[in-house]
């Protein structure tokens, strides 16, 4: 029996609509998968007691990426770079980023070179499989004078060059003090305006940015492509930190501009949760269902 032209058109249209629906669902699933990162500072006490057991629980929750906050004596949570990479791999986890403070003492002004301590930091980050080396702090002395901060940005650029040689990128993670003006200039703007966009990326902490009375979207528009990573944590109306989805930050609106911002990785974080594992589980469940 020959299929009528009308039936053919109808069935073809349904197939096209179905393909479109599946594409949208697949796209949404892909976006959701991007959100499954966790900054291990959120579970720092659990990691200190039982790193392996904690990582297993994170993987069981559904997290795919982790970001470390513990690199001491060339070890990650007590493991060498090679050992920790295997631990993560065996659990199906990746570690695209990690936090280690780049301080003034890491740069030898006389030799015009980094100290061995910082060189080891970058080498071990590459060995463990990181894509980014993130410095999450600025020494208080650098925040007092805009000129001193601008000068230190040369060190940021040089760190970016060093990371690039190892196939990675260097970045900076903010708090809210970067949004307190120094002689009319905000440290955050100084960092962005005085570093090479190709060498220094930003990890925007959405909570601290909003806490600092700034709009993340304004920065995405002013400096497109600079924000390769974000910390995802929410804020109550009274300014307190809370689980993602329980506060007032509009993540759907922010994530809709991810492409413009340049975001590649999203890490859930809560600095001092009452129950760390329950806290990050609640945040994960909210993000798992988020569509944007």
CATH number for 268: 3.20.20.150
Same domain, 53 and 14: no
- Specify the range with the lowest mean pLDDT, choosing from 19-23, 140-144, 198-202, 282-286: 19-23
pLDDT digits (tens, 9 = 90+) for 202-254: 999 999 999 999 999 999 999 999 999 999 999 999 999 999 999 999 999 99
Do 26 and 43 share a domain, yes or no? no
Instruction: Give per-residue pLDDT as tens, 172-210.
Output: 999 999 999 988 899 999 999 999 999 999 999 999 999
- The verdict on 40 and 29 lying in the same domain is no
SS (H, E, C) 254-291: HHCCHHHHCCCEEEECCCCCCCHHHHHHHHHHHHHHCC
Which residues lie closer than 8 Å to 99 by C-beta, 6 or more apart?
39, 41, 67, 68, 69, 71, 134, 135, 136, 173
Split into its structural domains, the chain has a count of: 2
Task: Using the CB atoms, write b or e for 80-92: b if 16+ within 10 Å.
Answer: ebeebbebbeebe
Shared domain for 179 and 218, answered yes or no, is yes
Same domain, 89 and 151: yes
Domain of 128, in residue numbers:
35-289
49 and 26, same domain (yes or no): no
Q: Are residues 141 and 4 in the same domain?
A: no
Judge if 139 and 193 occupy the same domain: yes
Residues 28 and 39 in one domain: no
* 174 and 119 fall within a common domain: yes
Q: How far apart are CA 171 and CA 178, in angstroms?
A: 15
């Amino acid at each position: 029996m020959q299929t009528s032209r009308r039936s053919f058109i109808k069935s073809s249209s349904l197939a096209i609509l179905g393909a479109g629906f599946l594409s949208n669902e697949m796209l949404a699933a892909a976006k959701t998968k991007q959100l499954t990162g966790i900054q291990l500072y959120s579970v720092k006490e659990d990691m200190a007691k039982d790193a392996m057991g904690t990582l297993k629980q994170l993987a069981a929750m559904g997290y795919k990426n982790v970001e470390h906050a513990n690199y001491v004596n060339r070890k990650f949570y007590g493991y060498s770079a090679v050992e920790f990479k295997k631990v993560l791999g065996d659990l199906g986890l990746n570690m695209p980023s990690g936090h280690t403070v780049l301080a003034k003492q890491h740069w030898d002004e006389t030799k015009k070179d980094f100290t061995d301590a910082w060189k080891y930091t970058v080498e071990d980050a590459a060995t463990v499989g990181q894509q980014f080396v993130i410095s999450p702090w600025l020494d208080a002395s650098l925040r007092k004078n805009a000129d001193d901060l601008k000068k230190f940005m040369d060190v940021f650029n040089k760190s970016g060059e060093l990371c690039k040689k190892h196939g990675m990128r260097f970045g900076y993670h903010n708090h809210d003090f970067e949004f307190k003006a120094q002689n009319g200039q905000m440290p955050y703007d100084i960092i962005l305006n005085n570093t090479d966009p190709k060498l220094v990326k930003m990890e925007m902490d959405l909570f601290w940015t909003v806490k600092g009375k700034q709009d993340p979207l304004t920065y995405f528009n002013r400096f497109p492509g600079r924000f390769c990573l974000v910390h995802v944590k929410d804020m109550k109306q009274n300014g307190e930190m809370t689980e993602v989805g329980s506060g007032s930050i509009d993540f759907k609106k922010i994530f809709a501009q991810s492409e413009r911002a340049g975001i590649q990785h999203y890490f859930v974080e809560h600095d001092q949760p009452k129950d760390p594992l329950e806290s990050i589980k609640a945040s994960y469940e909210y993000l798992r269902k988020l569509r944007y």
